[in-house]
Amino acid sequence: MNPGAVSLLERLELTGAMHGALPLEGMIVTGARRIRVEGRYEDARAYAISRNRLDDGLLIAAERAGAHIEQEVLVDDPLVDTSTDPTVTGAVVKGRGGMTLRLRARITIAADGRYSRLARGLRLSLSPARPRRWAIGSYFQDVDGMRPFGEMHIRDGHYIGVAPLPGAIVNACIVTSALRGGTPGEILTCALNRDPVLGGRFHSARMIGMPVCLGPLAVECETPGMPGLLLAGDAAGFIDPMTGDGLRFAIRGAELAAHEALHALERGNVDPHVRLRRARSREFTAKWRFNRTMRWVIDGPRTLRAAEIGAGVVPAILRHAIRYAGDLNAA
């Protein structure tokens, strides 16, 4: 959780969800040509925590705030009224035992992930032809040389993120456009062991648990909803996680969706999705542009080489990029 995400949770009084998280001091970025820059967050706070613990903490906080939680429920389809303009009036879900339920609501917020059944079913989101990348990640023990920093190791054709977690566990993830060379676990361990910076550190490491493969990562969403429906989190669009700001996008995007839902319920507005699109554009456009630029840089050997030369000559440029990626301006 970068400083921007931590600042949001603090403002929303959700710091209990970060209980037991590991404090981080900044980011370390390396290139394939011996470029290494350490960027500190200085007075801002960042933390590392497993998604299971964070999600459990947020779920508990939601229940304490009055939300009614139903687990083991699968969202199947949107309910749509087509008598006039198509309007979402709720969702069809499958509950325990496969029972089908039709849940009606004046406003539905779909926060059901990159492959949102609601957004995809209504053709609000899609996976673009390019870029097409996959992420393979797992947890490790006995990794050498870990410090209280997140790490991003940018290489020709892929990059590897490494982060310490509480309990001397390490999360390692490769993002690549090439899924060749074996099983997901074999691709990940091979990339780690062959890496000039990480190979020695992961030589005696043990993978714990099954590796997870996600992709293709990018999801495009032109508008975050339609009448009766708002999108939040990855359902409203997803970019690959190289800048480490995915949780801030998710939390702030959810807050914006909640604000527009309340506004519509209080005032009877029929276009909260239009207002949400404008709010997300104001909030995120500059950062989306920065992220696209970073992905463009690593996609080409020439642009990556030029960026590494620039970082080697003027490392302050990369330190500034680390601070911007960490949302310190929003912290």
* Per-residue pLDDT tens digits for 206-220: 999 899 998 887 788
Fold topology of 134-214: D-Amino Acid Oxidase; Chain A, domain 2 (3.30.9)
Note the pLDDT tens digit of each residue in 145-200: 999 999 999 888 788 999 999 999 999 999 988 787 789 999 999 999 999 999 99
**Nearest Cα residue to 121 out of 88, 97, 161, 149:** 88
CA distance 176 to 74: 30
Which pLDDT belongs to residue 313?
Answer: 46
pLDDT at residue 294 tops 70: no
Give ∠ CA 244-248-254 in degrees, rounded to 5: 145
| Residue whose tokens read 């301006």 | 329
How many helices (DSSP H) and strands (DSSP E) are in the chain? 8, 17
178-184: long-range pairs with CB below 8 Å, 24+: 179/134, 179/213, 179/215, 183/211, 184/136, 184/211, 184/212, 184/213
pTM to 2 decimal places:
0.85
- Tell me the two tokens of residue 210: 């099954």
pLDDT at residue 156, as a whole number: 80
Mean pLDDT of 67-82: 91
Asked if the model's pLDDT at residue 271 lies above 80, the reply is yes
Instruction: Render pLDDT for 217-266 as a digit per residue (tens, 0 to 9).
Output: 778 888 999 999 999 998 998 776 666 678 888 999 999 999 999 999 99
Closest listed residue to residue 219, CA positions, set 199, 192, 187, 246: 246
Close Cβ partners of 325 (under 8 Å, ≥ 6 residues apart): 2, 27, 243, 244, 245, 290, 294
Checking if the pLDDT of 76 tops 80, the result is: yes
Sequence ranges of the chain with CATH classification 3.30.9.100: 134-214
Instruction: For residues 5 and 251, give the distance between their C-alpha atoms in angstroms, rounded to a whole number.
Output: 7
What is the torsional sign of CA 157, 179, 245, 129? positive
Class assignment of domain 70-129+218-299? alpha beta
Distance CA 232, CA 113 (A): 8
Cα 185 to its chain centre, rounded Å, is: 21
User: Which of 77-81, 136-140, 269-273 bottoms out in mean pLDDT, i.e. has the lowest?
Assistant: 269-273
List every span in the chain annotated with CATH 3.50.50.60: 70-129+218-299
Q: Which of 94-98, 99-103, 188-192 has the lowest mean pLDDT?
A: 94-98
In contact, 109 and 257? CB cutoff 8 Å: yes
The DSSP call for residue 97 is G
